[in-house]
Structure 1
């Protein structure tokens, strides 16, 4: 009887371990803002909702196409602090971090348009920023002293997905088609690594 139990445990352990990846590699998508922090707002549209919808879409598309596991810093209308976000990120030690945001132009009558990429000062982050910039034809890549970039140990970029007060940008990033296209491009960038 003892031998049968040991054999059963041995078979179970072997089967379980063969399906458990030993070296999981993570990508973290940080959906900016959340909870009471709306971020940029235009009419009924808010940065916190747009960034979360696109983050979830990246995670969904990546499940069937990706070689990494995508982890979100928030998957609901919650508001983790910047310190909580970077603490979570650093514990995971991901391959890369992409923080999603939505811009707002101070020139309401002639708002700016397009993606912008902000980066921390590391070669790996600059390479990631360059790939994203080319994929989305971003307006700029700039170094910025932002908490999520400064305190994250992994390669990290902050991407402004467009300007909420630009009708063209807003219509694209709030539409189902636009969100799917944006997410698909991020998944392609992620899996180029």
Structure 2
């Protein structure tokens, strides 16, 4: 029964995809790097009201400050999902980004919790790793209930259902690694440059992240329910500092892309290397994923001393070449994590491959199947 539910959800998602990618409201300016900035909530959707502050107002002020700085760069085009206190649907936000052919989608929010929790979190798309991540995604996704015709546009998706989350995670794998890179730059800037408490880079099933077809992140700038943090985010000083961190991260991300050294983005001194992202298993039964780190005519022992300290190595001879692999798992999220590690170790052109019955198969075909 669960498998049937997952297929139904995935079919629904494909319908959303077709709808979103045919819109043409925005055009990308030639040779410009397009950043879509999304201020969460708006209009009759105030977001959370922790300590009496309005999430929709704080998110908008931070987004406008980010956009103002980015617009000073001639090679960057900034597009906003909203620039005033108005309500924009989740599908409308995604549509704006897709129509623009955006290079990045950055959504800004403020967190809330019935505890003393505080600190920043930046999310990329993925299955919730724990109940806390699920609750955050559920809260942000529930905005669909504020739309009069939500049954028509989100048929089959229930923000309250963990099973619904499964169906929205398979389509954006292509952009996951880049999204993680940007998310880490943002959290590193919050932590090291602004001295904020960073709760790290995490994954959760946000509908709006799934339906944007480019690297995408959702930033929780802090907890309004934590009195000190709420006051900070509600202040101009706090908003300026948070927006500056986001700007710096976006510019660093773009710079590394321009220099074609994006894989070495975390080798700067003073920046903590962290691959501990909270992820839940996304297992494909009967499939083994590996990271191909090299192909060479040289026959090397698959030992750590030959491969910059990497372990869990294997090799295969294909024709006159030896292919070298890192990792061996049926968990797609785990192999993506290992891919990031391999690139940090210097294997900048490494990539994920899939095997079934001992033979290499097309990765994209595997990802179209239903994960267990």
**Please, what TM-score do these two structures have when normalized by structure 2?**
0.44
Do 1:31 and 1:55's aligned partners in 2 also have CA atoms closer than 8 Å?
yes
Q: Deviations over 1:127-153 (max 9, x none)?
A: 111111111122121111111111110
Distance change >3 Å, CA 190–CA 176, structure 1 → 2? same
* Residue correspondence of structure 1 range 109-120 to structure 2 within 5 A: 111-120=116-125
Shift of residue 160, structure 1, vs aligned partner:
0.4
Q: Is the 8 A contact 1:102 1:164 kept in 2?
A: yes
Whether the 8 Å CA contact 1:66–1:191 is kept in 2: the answer is no
Which has a greater percent of helix?
Answer: 1
Indicate the residue corresponding to 1:16 in structure 2. none
Deviations 1:46-95 (A, max 9, x none): 11001001101111122235741221110011111000110111111211
Which range is displaced more, 56-65 or 80-89? Answer: 56-65
* Paired positions, count: 170
Q: Deviations over 1:16-62 (max 9, x none)?
A: xxxxx632221011100001111110354111001001101111122
1:67·1:191 contact (CA, 8 Å) conserved in 2? no
* Cα separation, partners in 2 of 1:66 and 1:24, compared to 1, 3 Å: closer
Asked if 2 retains the 8 angstrom alpha-carbon contact of 1:133 and 1:141, the reply is: yes
Indicate whether 1:35 and 2:43 are aligned.
Answer: yes
Partner in structure 2 of residue 127 of structure 1: 181
The 5 Å alignment of 1:36-55 reads 36-55=44-63
Q: Indicate if the aligned counterparts of 1:90 and 1:152 stay in contact, CA closer than 8 A.
A: yes
The answer to whether 1:98 aligns with 2:106 is yes
In structure 2, the gaps of 5 or more residues are 1-28, 126-172, 192-197, 255-372
In the other structure, the counterpart of 1:8 is none
Contact 1:28/1:98 (8 A) holds in 2: yes
Match of 2:81 in 1: 73
Secondary structure of the residue aligned to 1:61 is helix
TM-score in terms of structure 1 length: 0.83
Question: Equivalent residue for 1:149?
Answer: 209
- What SS class does the counterpart of residue 92 from structure 2 fall into? helix
Q: Which has the higher contact order (CA 8 A, sep 6+)?
A: 1
Preserved CA contact (<8 Å) 1:28 1:97: yes
1 CA distance for matches of 2:222 and 2:190? 10
- Report the counterpart of residue 338 of structure 2 in structure 1: none
Q: 1:168 and 1:106 mapped to 2: Cα distance?
A: 15
Equivalent residue, structure 1, for 2:65: 57
